Structure 1
Amino acid sequence: MVVVVRTTKRLPRAERERQMMDAAVQVFGRRGYRGASMDEVAELAGVSKPLVYLYLKSKEDLFTACIRREAQALTRAVRAGVRRDLPPDRQLWEGLRAFFRHTADHPDGWTVLHVQARTHGEPFAAEVAALRAELVSFVTQLTVVAARAAHRDPDLPEREVAGLAEALVGAAESLAAWANATEGVCAREAAATLMNFAWAGLDNLMAGRPWTPPADQD
């Protein structure tokens, strides 16, 4: 059910803009970019449509602002969830748990990032690509530190684990979409599922036991 916010007092600009952005994320997440209208955003925010245009200019600008805000919120949540004083497996677990908790708590924002922004071309897809690159870089660094410590080799190249981090982020994205669409799947369960899938591979890599393809195949 869509809840319309009615306001009767003058709000500071930042608060008013946040209110409109909250409404826009909900509308874009549930209607899609093409199905969303500035009229509905204004109604949901409890403001006039001219005020939405005054603050956020155009539908494209509004959608881009929503993507950026939700991307920043997600990366902040993941980074904040990781304590560097924990063992490597706990660091990865806490990062995954923070990711799935945030995507579960903000399903419209996740839909904007994972579905809507990716299916409407540039420049929206580029915004999501930047988010993904940041998450991959963060996961790569977590894994590199753990692998170097396990090997006692400070020069172990990032390439050894970068592909694994890329795959892990992709799996997390798909699993978050599934978890949000599947009744009864909580953030902890989703994180545990991916942790069980990923940590065995990471553990083998750190211990110097990577799986290798047959020698007679490309």
Structure 2
Amino acid sequence: MGAQGKRVPRAVREQQMLDAAVATFARRGYRAASMDEIAEAAGVSKPLVYLYLHSKDDLFTACIRREAAALKAAVRAAVELDGPADRQLWSGLLGFFEHTAAHPDGWTVLYSQARTVGEPFADEVAAMRAEIVEFVRGLIAAAARDADCDDGDLAEREVAALAHALVGAAESLAGRALGGTAASSGRENAATLMNFAWSGLANLMDGRPWTPSR
């Protein structure tokens, strides 16, 4: 590496290490991945990884936080807030699916590794997921207000439940696509979920909820 490596700004070098770590954790899994592998993939010495990012646990946490922040930012940036309610939800879903498709290693770290390794890593993902659910809850609540749907038609607890269900369905579709069991695009996944969810949401907001047949 020599003198040339020393001229790389620390922030840039850290991102290179995180890039290498995310790819290694996604490929090998948290427990099997070694700091030697990550250092080699990043093109730095192992002591430098420890100096910048400390322990393997700290490095994994930094990966989770970076990937979680990127996913949340992608969803928020994609939502067309000046559009009608269905367009807002559609654009947010599209942003979610396009980001996960473009960053499969990040998805694997968040949803296959961090959630299964256990605490405190699973807690980091749970916090990210709670923020996304709350954001979607706000979109659904805004759609209900735009439709002049009062609390008697669409209660707050029902809005929250719908947000959880929608996020869970999006996660399931993204995992299915990235797991190789479906070759659908981000637009196709977003359209599938809108076709599945929006008609029901529209009926609810029109005061026509589904009820079991007698």
In which range does the TM-score fall when normalised by the shorter chain? over 0.9
Higher mean alpha-carbon deviation, 8-17 vs 128-137, is at 8-17
Equivalent in the alignment of 2:40: 43
Aligned counterpart, 1:110 = 107
**2:145 is matched with which residue?**
148
Amino acid at match of 2:102: D
Paired residue secondary structure (2:127) = helix
Q: Give the AA of the match of 2:134.
A: S
Is the deviation greater in 72-81 or in 195-204?
195-204
| Identity, % of aligned positions | 69
5+ residue gaps in structure 2? none
Look up the equivalent residue of 1:172 and give its one-letter code: A
Deviation at residue 194 of structure 1 after TM alignment: 1.1
Distance 1:36 1:205 in 2: 48
Correspondence for 1:57? 54
Aligned to 2:20: 23
CA RMSD of aligned residues (A): 1.9
1:214 to partner: Cα distance: 6.8
Structure 1 residue 167 corresponds to structure 2 residue 165: yes
1:184, distance to aligned residue in structure 2 (A) = 3.0
TM-score (normalizing by structure 2): 0.93
Contact persistence 2:149–2:206 (CA under 8 A): no
Amino acid in the other structure paired with 1:51? L
Q: Distance in 2 between matches of 1:146 and 1:115?
A: 33
Indicate which of 66, 71, 74 corresponds to 1:74. Answer: 71
Amino acid at match of 1:26: A
Q: Does the CA contact (< 8 Å) of 1:140 and 1:158 recur in 2?
A: no
Bigger mean CA deviation after superposition, 130-139 or 148-157: 148-157
Structure 2 partner of 1:210: 209
Is 1:14 matched up with 2:16? no
2:127 aligns to what? 130
What secondary structure is seen at the aligned counterpart in 1 of 2:158? helix
Deviations 1:100-155 (A, max 9, x none): 00000000000000110010111001000001100000000000010122135489
Q: What amino acid is the match of 1:80? A: A
Q: Tell me, which stretches of 5 or more residues in structure 1 are unaligned? A: 1-6
Q: Stretches of 4+ moved more than 4 A in 1?
A: 154-157
**1:148, 1:154 within 8 Å by CA — same for their partners in 2?**
no
Shift of 1:164: 0.7
- 1:181 Cα deviation (Å)? 2.2
Other structure's SS at 2:93 match: helix
- TM-score, normalization by structure 1: 0.91
Size of the alignment, in residue pairs? 210
